[in-house]
Amino acid sequence: MSEKRLKKEKLKKHLFTKNRLVILNDDTFEEVFSLRLTLMNVFVFATLGAIIIIFLTTLFIAFTPLREYIPGYPSGKLKKEATELALKSDSLEFAIKKNEAYLESIKKVLTGNLEYAKVNKDSILAISVDTLPDLELTATESEMNLRKQVAEEEKKKIEKRK
């Protein structure tokens, strides 16, 4: 156990021993720059510098057009084309439904289920697209009362005119 303790103390002493970094002019041996450092300071500054460089690189790539060069990341052009194709496919589906309704009505005419005079392409297309499901709508009591009141008011107006 004492060996581990000695190793830790030796490492601690080595990390925090102050050293001097000196830059000299080679011709005149004049000191140009001097800095007192410990090994721990060098390690901390190098780690922080690496983290900052990684962070800035990530931001630079994420918020510039460089991200399009990353494999698997879709480009702006690809997104635009996908949107246009989705819109075109929706309109084509709509056109196919119209044509199917028209062909179905023609089949009915040919088999004799409809009269020829009633078949009109525009009316068939409008019916097939804009029809609502058959719903049984009944008026409530308040609606019925309102209808009665309106009818009575109209009768009174007609009587006043005469």
Taking only the tens place, the pLDDT of each residue in 20-52 is: 989 999 899 899 999 999 999 999 999 999 999
Q: How confident is the model at residue 74 (pLDDT cuts 50, 70, 90)?
A: confident
Full-model pTM: 0.44
Taking all residues of the chain, what is their mean pLDDT, rounded to a whole number?
83
Whole-angstrom CA distances from 132 to 126, 129, 135 are: 11, 9, 8
Q: How confident is the model at residue 54 (pLDDT cuts 50, 70, 90)?
A: very high
pLDDT at 58 over 70: yes
Whole-angstrom CA distances from 35 to 32, 47, 106 are: 11, 19, 95
114-151: per-residue pLDDT in tens?
A: 655 555 566 655 655 545 455 566 778 888 898 899 99
53-64: average pLDDT: 92
CA Rg, the chain, in Å? Answer: 43
Q: Please give the pLDDT value at position 142.
A: 86
The percent of residues in the chain predicted with pLDDT above 90, rounded, is 36
The full 3-state SS of the chain, as one line of letters, equals CHHHHHHHHHHHHHHCCCEEEEEECCCCCCEEEEEEECHHHHHHHHHHHHHHHHHHHHHHHHCCHHHHHCCCCCCHHHHHHHHHHHHHHHHHHHHHHHHHHHHHHHHHHHHCCCCHHHCCHHHHHHHHHHCCCCCCCCCCHHHHHHHHHHHHHHHHHHHHHC
User: Contacts by 150-153 with C-beta closer than 8 Å and gap 24+?
Assistant: none
pLDDT at 112 over 60: yes
Q: Please give the pLDDT value at position 92.
A: 92
Q: How confident is the model at residue 65 (pLDDT cuts 50, 70, 90)?
A: confident
